[in-house]
């Protein structure tokens, strides 16, 4: 009996991930299709967000957006993301660069698959190609 | 009756297929193949390499003169390596960040003929690379990794001033659609 108990506990623990993943799949089935979420840097510092898919908002936190300049004077932004859930999340990211007047001047159209381990901090870096690029708009979508 | 049954079966079989439709080339509904490099793999690797390359000190000032070297395809899949290179050169040229030398024989001959005339650009950097693959499997699960390696060589000194490697790994038992 004593030998069976740890085995049973191990079996239950191994099953936990499956239960959570099944729950995640059911949640996805019951809610509207994935929507794109945005985080945009502000000229005065900091960032603003537009969350269109609250499921990702409940699991992935955007901690900071740091703006800097490269040696050549081009804008560079680093976004710090944290997976606050207990499961590995896979998100897709891409970004656009906006000029000072808000017009889109360049973009990375394709999605980059970005795995986020539970609790892990992930930094996404975007460097502008054009001198007029001033603010960065990060686009996030769940898998 | 038998003929009707056969006809019904044929209609059902035909109905199972998915009609062809247009998809966004940058979207998330593209075919993911385990045995070949997909168009989105070039886009992913190219975009990440571009972001790395533009942080190189060589790109900090002006528009350096770039010439494309050879990109060796060391995979079992037959594709044109321009699929990768264009992901880097198109944004760089359009943003005015590089002066890209035409690589065809006429252009090369014209440059050789001109010698060291000041108004004829000569390559300051050469971009070269290699694409490799690694395959493995565990039971029915197959895994393919495609390794994209690029190196930027400064012609004057003959030294590598930037180098990057990106790996795209895909795993599954069969090809699928989407991420």
Q: Taking residues B99-107, report their average pLDDT.
A: 84
Tokens coding B86: 């264009």
- Residues 52-111, chain B: which have Cβ within 8 Å of A? 54-55, 57, 59-61, 91-92, 95-97
- Residues 25-44, chain B: which have Cβ within 8 Å of A? 26-28, 40, 43-44
Interface check for A90 against chain B (CB to CB < 8 A): the answer is yes
Residues of chain B neighbouring A76 (CB-CB closer than 8 A):
55
Question: B129 versus A59: which is more confidently predicted?
Answer: B129
pLDDT of residue A132: 95
pLDDT tens-digit series, residues A84-133:
999 999 999 999 999 999 999 999 989 999 999 999 999 999 999 999 99
Element at B71 (helix H, strand E)? strand B65-74
> Does the beta-carbon distance from B47 to A92 stay under 8 Å?
no
In contact, B168 and B45? CB cutoff 8 Å:
yes
**Backbone angles phi and psi of B30, in degrees to 5:** -90, 160
Residues of chain B neighbouring A106 (CB-CB closer than 8 A):
91, 95
pLDDT tens-digit series, residues B7-34:
665 555 555 677 888 988 888 889 999 9
pLDDT at B117 over 70: no
pLDDT of residue B106: 77
Q: How many pairs of residues across A and B have Cβ atoms under 8 Å apart?
A: 46
Most confident listed range (A4-13, A131-140, B20-29): A131-140
Kindly tell me the sign of the dihedral angle through the C-alpha atoms of B37, B38, B41, B42: positive
In contact, A53 and A34? CB cutoff 8 Å:
yes
Interface check for A33 against chain B (CB to CB < 8 A): the answer is no
> Does the beta-carbon distance from A108 to B47 stay under 8 Å?
yes
Residues of chain A neighbouring B32 (CB-CB closer than 8 A):
none
Tell me which DSSP letter residue A32 carries: P
Its pTM stands at 0.81
In contact, A134 and A105? CB cutoff 8 Å:
no
pLDDT of residue B10: 57
How far does A1 lie from chain B, in Å, by closest CA?
34
> Does the beta-carbon distance from A72 to B92 stay under 8 Å?
no
What is the rounded distance in angstroms from the CA atom of residue B27 to the CA atom of residue B30? 7
Strands B65-74 and B125-138: parallel
In contact, B54 and A127? CB cutoff 8 Å:
yes
Interface check for A12 against chain B (CB to CB < 8 A): the answer is no
ipTM of the complex: 0.80
pLDDT of residue A38: 94
Band the pLDDT of B118: cuts 50, 70, 90: low
Q: Taking residues A53-68, report their average pLDDT.
A: 89
Range with lowest mean pLDDT among A54-58, A61-65, B96-100, B133-137: A54-58
CB burial of residue A87 (10 Å; 0-12, 13-18, 19+)? middle
pLDDT tens-digit series, residues B119-170:
778 899 999 999 999 999 999 999 999 999 999 999 999 999 999 999 999 9
pLDDT tens-digit series, residues B45-95:
999 999 999 999 988 888 999 999 999 999 999 999 999 999 999 999 999
What is the rounded distance in angstroms from the CA atom of residue B122 to the CA atom of residue B65? 7
pLDDT of residue A135: 97
pLDDT of residue B4: 63
Band the pLDDT of A8: cuts 50, 70, 90: low
Inter-axis angle of helices B39-53 and B82-94, to 10 degrees? 40
Element at B15 (helix H, strand E)? helix B2-15
Average pLDDT of chain A to the nearest whole number? 85
Question: Which residue on chain A is closest to B59 by alpha carbon?
Answer: A72
Q: Enumerate the β-bridge partners of residue B129.
A: B71, B150
């Amino acid at each position: 009996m004593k030998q069976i108990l740890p085995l049973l506990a191990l079996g239950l623990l191994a099953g936990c991930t499956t239960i959570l993943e099944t729950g995640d799949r059911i949640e996805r089935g019951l809610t509207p299709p994935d929507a794109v979420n945005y985080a945009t840097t502000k000229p005065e510092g900091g960032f603003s967000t537009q969350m269109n898919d609250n499921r990702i908002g409940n699991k992935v936190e955007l901690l900071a957006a740091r703006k800097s300049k490269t040696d050549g004077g081009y804008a560079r932004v680093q976004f710090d993301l944290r997976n606050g859930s207990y499961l590995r999340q896979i998100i897709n990211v891409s970004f656009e660069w906006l000029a000072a007047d808000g017009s889109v001047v360049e973009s990375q159209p394709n999605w980059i698959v970005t795995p986020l381990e539970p609790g892990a901090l992930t930094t996404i870096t975007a460097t502008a190609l054009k001198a007029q690029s001033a603010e960065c708009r990060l686009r996030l979508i769940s898998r | 009756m038998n003929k009707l049954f056969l006809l019904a079966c044929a209609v059902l079989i035909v109905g199972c297929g998915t009609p062809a439709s247009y998809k966004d080339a940058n979207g998330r509904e593209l075919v993911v193949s385990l045995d070949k490099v997909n168009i989105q793999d070039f886009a992913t690797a190219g975009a990440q390499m571009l972001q790395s390359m533009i942080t190189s000190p060589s790109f900090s000032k002006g528009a350096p003169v770039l010439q494309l070297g050879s990109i060796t395809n060391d995979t079992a899949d037959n594709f044109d390596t321009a699929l990768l290179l264009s992901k880097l050169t198109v944004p760089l040229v359009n943003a005015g960040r590089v002066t890209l030398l035409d690589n065809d024989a006429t252009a090369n001959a014209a440059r050789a003929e001109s010698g060291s005339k000041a108004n004829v650009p000569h390559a300051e950097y050469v971009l070269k690379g290699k694409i490799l693959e690694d395959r493995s499997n565990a039971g029915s699960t197959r895994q393919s990794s495609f390794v994209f390696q690029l190196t930027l060589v400064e012609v004057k000194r003959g030294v590598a001033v930037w180098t990057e490697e990106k790996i795209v790994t895909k795993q599954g038992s069969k090809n699928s659609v989407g991420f």
